[in-house]
A and B are shown apart, each in its own frame.
Chain A
Amino acid sequence: MSLLTVTDLTVSAGPRELVHGVSFDLGPGERLGLVGESGSGKSLTAMAIVGLLAPGLTAGGSVLLDGQQMVGQPDRDLVPLRGAVAAVVFQDSRAALDPLMRLGDQLAAPIRRRAAREGRALSAADLRAEQIRWLDRVAIPEPERILKSWPYEVSGGQRQRIAIAMALACGPRLLIADEPTTALDVSTQAEVLDLLDSLVRDAGLSLLFISHDLPVVSRVADRVIVMRQGRAVEEGATARVFTDPQNPYTQGLVAAARRLESALETPA
């Protein structure tokens, strides 16, 4: 059974429809990329899935997340699902972390929530061990020092790793990553992508990866949906879509990306 079934999803701002009926399935362990340029509606689609649309935006159609309808539900019914079923990593890790809270305390929150959900007692020592284990898993050196640090004291790459640790510490089955490496340097991006890749694989998570960057998506997703102006214009296996695109828009995108890459072989 699918973990996520999106059927005819629309997102509207008042009378103006921004996403016009998007449908797809995501099974356990699958990795799906949502690709598109600005205004394609890819991020709106992702936010509608977890019921995190900005005020003034409304979703229509159906989003079944682990059998639970997400569209049109009051927020309090969705809160338990966030983290437990689906967790989100955003582009801007600076905004995702509370600037007035030590990183250790921020990481403790999802760990406690998960323990409470699973009915486990969590001693101070257990919590500490879990915190360190998570920082280890996202390859953060000196975890003891980082736990006591403030968000502004660590680099952008480290903040994004901690945001990933927080998302995964809730124990979700679906990870939604919205342009998680766009704000990072090329070398940091490669490290964070490797990390996401191995974490998702190890835990058998489903991944919904949103990006405008074709090479980055091809690096992490098995299957992609190309969006344009609120519509899905092409869907298929990543290797097929990026080597043999059928839709004219996708062909244009892939051609543009290939032209940029070709400069590496034949520089000016």
Chain B
Amino acid sequence: MSLFVLKEVSYAYPRGDTVLHDVSLSLEAGQNLGILGESGSGKSTLLRLMLGLAAPSAGVLTADGTPLDIQSRARMQAHRRFAQPVFQDPYTSLDPRMRIGRALAEPHAALGLPGDAQAEIARVLAAVNLPQDSTRRLPRAFSGGQRQRIAIARALIARPRVLLADEPVSALDLSTRVRVIDLLADLSRELTLVLVSHDIAIVAALCPRLIVLQHGRVVEAGATRQILQNPQHPYTRMLLASLPRLPEPKETAR
């Protein structure tokens, strides 16, 4: 069974522009999906719909086999356990005045999750390679990469089957970025990742499936490998061509 199925989903702001037009996609377990797009492509809106933070203005969004009704509290509590977010900016995704222990305990209590909260916190901290005494500290004691790990840990508390990540590494330094990508790759052995990014290299590193969004429409979809080798849509070709590359290493330098 597909984790997510979107059928001709559109989204328009109340009395405003339509930012998504007839987007269809399906997410299969174990097949990380990359959503590639630039600003104004509607990629973040798509993620908000999948998180159930807003409802499509048209079309059907099915999660875990049933349509998502964001008005139903019971359905949404179940959806929170099914899909969790990771945000771009590690500096605003953690409450600056809440100690890490409380921040991690919060979803455990609010979602009524089984198991001992302290044991679960220990489990997720270990999963993101942070020391156990992190719980006593405030977010400001951590670097950007460490904060992103904490944000991922918070998402993992619910033992979600899908992680919806919006540009999770683009605010991070290069070396930190590689480590967080490794962590996400590690985690995606047990859950499925939807990764929204403007950076095709990061999408390629993590996602075997890819859709390309331009102005709220899917212009290309398929296997990442094929799209990279043989992009069909001019926009995809342009994105690939725009990517600055390092100089080719000399044979001897390797």
Contact = CB atoms under 8 A, between A and B. Distances in A.
Interface residues of A, number: 35
Contacts of A213: 244
* Interface residue SS majority, chain A: helix
Interface stretch (B98-106, B113-121, B193-201): B193-201
Nearest to B249: A243
* Interface residue SS majority, chain B: helix
Interface in A170-221: 185-190, 193, 212-216, 218-219
A254 B199 CA distance: 18
B228 to A, nearest CB: 6
A243 B253 CA distance: 7
Contact of B246 (A212, A257, A267): A257
A256 B175 contact: yes
Nearest to B200: A264
A37 B173 contact: yes
Given A244-B253, A264-B201, A268-B208, A258 B175 contact: no
A186 B250 contact: no
Interface residues of B, number: 37
Nearest to A220: B244
Interface in B184-226: 185, 198-202, 204-208, 224-225
Contacts of A190: 241-244
Given A214-B174, A218-B247, A267-B204, 13 more contacts: A156-B39, A186-B199, A186-B239, A186-B242, A187-B38, A212-B174, A243-B248, A254-B246, A256-B178, A261-B245, A264-B200, A268-B32, A268-B224
6 tightest A-B contacts by CB?
A263-B205, A190-B242, A185-B38, A215-B244, A37-B173, A267-B204
